């Protein structure tokens, strides 16, 4: 069971004061536990690529994170630069304000431009995950957000940044809603506040096929 | 006293789900109370510029916010785009990880490129504030950070993003340290957790000449 689980985990460290030692440690942990990917800030992508050379572990980074309030141009430029530096997973934040205003085509175009710019920047496959910050959305808005993410050509809809304060992370009900909206062949990533194997299992059961957490090592070391 | 105070306040609303109505309301409040500036996400700069046309109120936005982990290229491109859209104040976040690693020249170059790109993007004056996230720094690092900000040609050193959780905002002692480091003719902005006139006065007394807060209206309406 644990071997299956590790391949679902995006091992994530985004703190302001993360240094190269911390990035190196994360990458070692990712090799040891065979996590799916690591997620670091854009300024650490080149280092993570170097640390993970030869390993089959994704290098992910964020884009417009955590507020989603960068312009579409800058989101696309940031994603393209990260991919050109070797990242193959991009976790971007949807423009939630535009969604709330009903500007669906702008929200879709914001995502599509990041998808297109990322794919154009590399020969390798790039996975784009779009964070909808479900804690701010009504259930209707969550459904609309999931649809838009799929229409825009991204690969995953993701629940949360985890950075809006206590209790703003992933909820099992939201994962179930999103899985229903996007269907069985699309990605659903749960993240924010996931710190135990029991939580992780609940999210997977609800339909998540990727888990973002900074507690991956602790989860893998839980006594069975 | 209150009239003097309002001119120190950067009226700030950065939330993920801020919509055009909220931006409009902020700009009306800024006109009514004669705040120094408003601060919005990059995707709201054009709207704020429109709402504040004819008023002598700055339009500010953020850059590399709140983690400071975007690449220098993207920080500079983001600031330049915001300025070209009419922003005249940029609150950027220092690369704190690089500071911790002792990469002083990279930290300085990161700021200088934002300063240069911003100034090149407009004929009007642009004010660059650099957030050092003092809650993560030793006193020595705070001093070094203040020096670097000044050397890089920015206009203000700013204490905090306010987004790293409870009790991570501005501290009076930090403002005093920064004022001592940068001297009397440089900007010091205190922000994060400032919600009362008493706090504001303490920060001004310690040397701050700009205050970032989302509680500006409440502060101005406190009973004397």
Q: What is the pLDDT of residues A189-215, one digit of tens each?
A: 999 999 999 999 999 999 999 999 999
| Pick from B67, B72, B81: CB nearest A16 | B67
Give the pLDDT band of residue B1 (cuts 50, 70, 90): low
The span from the first CA to the last CA of chain B, in angstroms, equals: 10
Contact B14 A69 (CB under 8 A): yes
| Predicted confidence (pLDDT) at residue A10 exceeds the cutoff of 60 | yes
Name all domains of chain A by residue range, CATH numbers in brackets. 7-220 (3.20.20.70)
| pTM for this model (two decimals) | 0.97
Give the pLDDT band of residue A224 (cuts 50, 70, 90): low
pLDDT of residue B4: 84
Rounded CA-CA distance A217/A5 in Å is: 12
Contact B100 A17 (CB under 8 A): yes
Give the pLDDT band of residue A1 (cuts 50, 70, 90): low
Give the pLDDT confidence of A145-181 residue by residue, as tens digits.
999 999 999 999 999 999 999 899 999 999 999 999 9
With beta carbons less than 8 A apart as the criterion, state whether A195 and A218 touch. yes
| Predicted confidence (pLDDT) at residue A2 exceeds the cutoff of 90 | no
With beta carbons less than 8 A apart as the criterion, state whether B172 and B203 touch. yes
Average pLDDT over all residues of chain A: 97
- Within chain A, residue ranges assigned H as helices are 2-6, 20-33, 45-51, 72-84, 96-101, 104-120, 139-151, 172-182, 197-206, 216-220
Average pLDDT over all residues of chain B: 97
Give the pLDDT band of residue A223 (cuts 50, 70, 90): confident
Give the pLDDT confidence of B115-157 residue by residue, as tens digits.
999 999 999 999 999 999 999 999 999 999 999 999 999 999 9
With beta carbons less than 8 A apart as the criterion, state whether A117 and B38 touch. no
* Token reading at B186: 């440089």
Q: If 0-12 CB within 10 Å is exposed, 13-18 middle and 19+ buried, where does residue B165 land?
A: exposed
Smallest Cα distance from A180 to chain B, Å:
24
Rounded CA-CA distance B161/B182 in Å is: 20
Smallest Cα distance from B100 to chain A, Å:
7
Give the pLDDT band of residue B17 (cuts 50, 70, 90): very high
Tell me the DSSP string of B167-220: T-S--HHHHHHHHHHH-TTSEEEEESS--SHHHHHHHHHHT-SEEEES-HHHHH
Identify all chain A residues contacting B15, using CB atoms and an 8 Å cutoff: 67
Find which of A41, A42, A63, A71 to mutate to test the B interface (most B CBs within 10 Å of its CB).
Answer: A71
């Amino acid at each position: 069971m644990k071997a299956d689980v590790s391949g679902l985990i995006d091992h994530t460290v985004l703190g302001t004061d993360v240094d190269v030692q911390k990035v190196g440690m994360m990458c070692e942990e990712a090799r040891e536990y065979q996590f799916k990917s690591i997620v670091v800030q854009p300024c650490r992508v080149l280092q993570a690529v170097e640390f993970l050379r030869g390993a089959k572990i994704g290098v992910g980074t964020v884009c417009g994170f955590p507020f989603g309030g960068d312009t579409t141009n800058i989101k696309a430029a940031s994603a393209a630069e990260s991919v050109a530096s070797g990242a193959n997973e991009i976790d971007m934040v949807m423009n939630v304000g535009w969604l709330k205003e009903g500007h669906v085509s702008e929200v879709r175009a914001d995502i599509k431009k990041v998808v297109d710019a990322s794919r154009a920047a590399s020969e390798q496959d790039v996975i784009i995950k779009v964070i909808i910050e479900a804690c701010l959305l009504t259930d209707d808005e969550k459904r609309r957000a999931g649809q838009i993410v799929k229409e825009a050509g991204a690969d995953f809809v993701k629940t949360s940044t985890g950075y809006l304060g206590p209790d703003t992370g992933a909820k099992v009900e939201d994962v179930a809603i999103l899985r229903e909206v996007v269907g069985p062949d699309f990605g659903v990533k749960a993240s924010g506040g996931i710190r135990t194997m029991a939580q992780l299992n609940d999210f997977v059961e609800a339909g998540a096929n990727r888990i973002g957490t900074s507690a991956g090592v602790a989860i893998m070391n839980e006594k069975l």
